[in-house]
Amino acid sequence: MPGTNPAGTVATLKRLQSRAGEVSTAALGRMEAQHEWYTALPAQDRSWVGLVAQAGIAAFIDWYRDPSRLDANPGAVFDSAPKELTRSISLRQTLDLVRTVIDEMEAQVESLAAPGDAASLQLAMLHFSREMAFAAAQVYAQAAETRGAWDARLESLVVDAVLRGEADDAVQSRVSALGWEDVTSVVIAAGDAPSGSSADAIDALRSAARRHGFDCLAAVQGHRLVAILGHVDDGVSAVTRLQDCWAEGGPIVVGPIVPHVYAAGRSARSALAGHTAARAWPAAPRPCSGEELLAERVLTGDERARRVLIDRVHRPLSESGALLPTARTYLELGGLEATARELFIHPNTVRYRLGRIADLTGYDLATPHDAFTARVALSLARLDEPRPWRRLTAPD
């Protein structure tokens, strides 16, 4: 080590100091010759790498003079470059940089070291390279931690904006920063958040989505865990694979698939409104779509669900002659025979009309929940009908 040969160390230090620039230039030349990633960097980033190499050589010289100096803060070598450089070059590439500088110094060790000092200098280089590797790992770990915290906040802001239906320039900038500007086939899912840490719940959901090939943004808002999933073919099917990430036994509601995250407000409205109303249908499938909960959503005051139900059920039946009275009678009396007697038609005719009703509306009146939904839709239509005008006459 340097302290074992004081006279030689002073002489070696002088040689290192006089040739530091030469070694730095040679090291960067070696970088350019050996590493394609370095030549592909923009000129500004290459200049930052050069500053790091020069700082590393200067730090080695200082440490060789006094080993306690580097131990205090080995990461200071990387302070000469901006923190953004960790986004331009990876940890592996940074280690390539350290290794290449040391390789160049070892290649010149005989000319750099004073007589009898070569072994000591080479051992010092080995120890220095190890310290620099640890320092680089620490710098990247800190950068990753900072970036992770920032990305988590950014993700939460994007989820909140989607739920609010916002799509301004700030939202677009944040979406772009998260790499979601080109994500298509987006769906929103909302369910009860599991107990424990919100961060753990989000991490578990994100990891599960990644395993199944989905892009995922998530946030815990109040008692809800909300997910934005991208590259989804079927929303309910996709969320079924991820349902263990929500609270056990609680409802999970999925909105419709939309083209991109900027249109996800429509999917979010369906998912959130459905999740609010899901308690009214304890037997609802898990997960289920927001469209399956239209009747329950109407009970919570969801005007959009009200309009959709009327358009989906009452409008096509009112335009098809006998189907509307058949539906009303069947829902009132609850049976083929009773409906046939009331309408003076054959039960097979009732059966045929029920099939037509299912084709037109998507609701099978023989199924309890579908019958409930259709009854709510027809009741809403009645409430929208104008009241018959009556003349009020004074009593005799």
Does residue 189 register a pLDDT over 90? yes
Least confident of 43-57, 228-242, 281-295, 327-341: 43-57
Rounded (10°) angle between helices 118-164 and 43-65:
140
CB 132, CB 56: distance < 8 Å: yes
Q: Which residue has the tokens 């263990």?
A: 244
Identify which has the larger pLDDT, 118 or 319.
319
State the first-to-last Cα distance of the chain, in angstroms, to the nearest integer: 124
Q: Which residue has the tokens 């010149």?
A: 108
Identify which has the larger pLDDT, 365 or 161.
365
Q: How confident is the model at residue 159 (pLDDT cuts 50, 70, 90)?
A: confident
Does residue 68 register a pLDDT over 70? no
Does residue 73 register a pLDDT over 70? no
CB 239, CB 252: distance < 8 Å: yes
How far apart (Å, rounded) are the C-alpha atoms in residues 30 and 40?
15
DSSP state of 244: G
The encoded tokens of residue 135 equal 């320092």
Rounded to two decimals, what is the model's pTM?
0.63
Q: Give the mean model confidence (pLDDT) for residues 18-47.
A: 82
Q: How confident is the model at residue 81 (pLDDT cuts 50, 70, 90)?
A: low
Q: Give the mean model confidence (pLDDT) for residues 348-358.
A: 95
DSSP state of 252: E
Report the chain's mean pLDDT, rounded to a whole number.
Answer: 82
Closest CA to 357 of 327, 319, 325, 318: 327
How far apart (Å, rounded) are the C-alpha atoms in residues 385 and 333?
23
User: Looking at residue 76, what is its pLDDT?
Assistant: 59
3-class DSSP assignment, residue 89: coil
From the number of C-beta atoms within 10 Å of its C-beta (0-12, 13-18, 19+), residue 51 rates as: middle
Closest CA to 202 of 222, 179, 221, 219: 219
Q: What is the pLDDT of residues 207-245, one digit of tens each?
A: 999 999 999 999 898 899 999 999 999 999 999 999 999
User: Looking at residue 156, what is its pLDDT?
Assistant: 73
Q: Give the mean model confidence (pLDDT) for residues 99-122.
A: 80
Q: How confident is the model at residue 371 (pLDDT cuts 50, 70, 90)?
A: very high
| List of residues 6+ apart from 140 with CB closer than 8 A | 86, 91, 94
Least confident of 69-73, 354-358, 376-380, 381-385: 69-73
Does residue 34 register a pLDDT over 90? no
How far apart (Å, rounded) are the C-alpha atoms in residues 215 and 244?
17
All structural domains of the chain: 2-146 (no CATH), 178-290 (3.30.70.2730), 303-384 (1.10.10.2840)
User: Looking at residue 274, what is its pLDDT?
Assistant: 96
How far apart (Å, rounded) are the C-alpha atoms in residues 15 and 295?
85
User: Looking at residue 80, what is its pLDDT?
Assistant: 55
User: Looking at residue 291, what is its pLDDT?
Assistant: 95
How far apart (Å, rounded) are the C-alpha atoms in residues 393 and 104?
110
Does residue 267 register a pLDDT over 60? yes
Identify which has the larger pLDDT, 290 or 37.
290
User: Looking at residue 225, what is its pLDDT?
Assistant: 95
Does residue 101 register a pLDDT over 90? no
Q: Give the mean model confidence (pLDDT) for residues 110-125.
A: 80
Closest CA to 314 of 274, 360, 349, 345: 360
Q: How confident is the model at residue 69 (pLDDT cuts 50, 70, 90)?
A: low
Does residue 142 register a pLDDT over 70? no
A 10 A CB-CB count for 82 gives 13
| List of residues 6+ apart from 190 with CB closer than 8 A | 224, 225, 226, 227, 252, 253, 268, 271, 272, 274, 275
Q: How confident is the model at residue 204 (pLDDT cuts 50, 70, 90)?
A: very high
Does residue 395 register a pLDDT over 70? no
Q: Which residue has the tokens 């003349």?
A: 391
Contacts 24+ apart (CB under 8 A), 44-49: 45/85, 45/88, 45/89, 48/80, 48/81, 48/82, 48/85, 49/81, 49/85, 49/89, 49/97
